[in-house]
Structure formats: structure tokens, C-alpha cells
């Protein structure tokens, strides 16, 4: 049973929704097995203890589109059932980030290809999401010098929309 979008949380900006246990533990473990079984060619090394898998094509590359693998479709469908996405415009791209312990991203915006919505699903460990007001956050600033609007730690397979 897919949770629906919860009522607004006063500790979060009004456009952000936090859904604990968005998927079951069994589904989380299955997703992690699929991610681990992906061919090495699917992984792109990054900096600062991060590597990524792109599914659905690489954003911004004209004409580079591919169908999502069958194992991601139940997650995409769950986002639609939850109300996080309109049923006629479900996500067509999944970016999987793997971080070494203690690694993360500096403040950034995801750009116009990800407007008007993005979802983050934490698998395998807790996740801390620092949200910043882009009007007050200098570009390329380390998190320690930013003013967080909200800081939320998730447990289990939590989702942020």
C-alpha cells in the first residue's frame, strides 16, 4: 500500500513532503539488489565519494532517451499513486547516487530539466537533507556556511518530494 502525500510539516518548506517508509523493507532490499547487479558500465565515478547510475537517459543530452528498466517501474508507479506526480506525467528518469559514509553533495539546484518536482528516496541507510533558500545561499558554498531552511533525517526507505 503506497502512502499518500502527507499533510504539510511546519518544520519543512511548504513545497517539501516527507514520507517515512515510502516503500516496504522487502522492496528496499529488492531495489538494492537490482542496483548492485547493474553492469559496471552503468556506474559513473564522481568526486567526493560519490558514484552514479543514470536510467532513462542522461538529462540534457539531445535524443538520449531509454525506457526505464522493469525493476524501477513499480517505484515510478508508486510515486504516481501517492499523488507526488500526475498520473499522466510520471518520472522518466532515475538518477541513483551512491555515497561513501560521510560523503554528500554541496548545495545546488537541479536545473530546469527537473522542474517542477524531484523525489529523493533513501535506501540502505539514513539520509540527511539540508534544504536551503537559493536566494541566500551563495553558489558552490560548503554546507557549513549556508543557512538551512530545514534539516531532516530519515530512517528506513523514506522519501522526500
pTM of the model: 0.76
- Residue 1: per-residue pLDDT: 62
State yes or no: pLDDT of 19 exceeds 60: yes
- Residue 31: per-residue pLDDT: 92
Burial track 134-153 (b if 16+ CB lie within 10 A, e otherwise): eeebeeeeeeeebeebeebe
pLDDT tens figures, 116-133? 777 788 888 877 777 666
pLDDT tens figures, 28-75? 899 999 999 999 999 999 888 889 898 987 776 666 678 899 999 998
Amino acid at each position: 500500500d503506497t502512502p499518500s502525500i502527507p499533510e504539510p510539516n511546519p518544520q519543512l518548506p511548504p513545497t517539501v513532503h516527507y514520507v517515512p517508509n515510502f516503500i516496504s523493507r522487502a522492496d528496499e532490499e529488492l531495489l538494492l539488489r537490482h542496483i548492485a547487479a547493474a553492469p559496471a558500465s552503468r556506474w559513473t565515478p564522481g568526486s567526493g565519494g560519490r558514484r552514479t547510475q543514470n536510467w532513462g537517459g542522461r538529462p540534457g543530452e539531445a535524443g538520449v532517451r531509454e525506457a526505464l528498466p522493469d525493476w524501477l517501474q513499480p517505484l515510478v508507479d508508486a510515486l504516481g499513486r501517492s499523488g507526488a506526480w500526475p498520473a499522466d506525467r510520471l518520472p522518466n528518469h532515475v538518477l541513483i547516487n551512491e555515497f561513501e559514509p560521510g560523503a554528500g553533495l554541496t548545495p545546488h539546484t537541479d536545473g530546469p530539466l527537473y522542474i517542477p518536482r524531484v523525489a529523493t528516496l533513501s535506501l540502505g541507510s539514513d539520509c540527511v537533507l539540508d534544504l536551503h533558500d537559493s536566494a541566500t545561499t551563495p553558489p558552490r558554498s560548503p554546507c557549513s556556511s549556508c543557512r538551512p531552511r530545514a534539516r531532516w533525517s530519515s530512517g528506513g526507505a523514506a522519501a522526500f518530494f
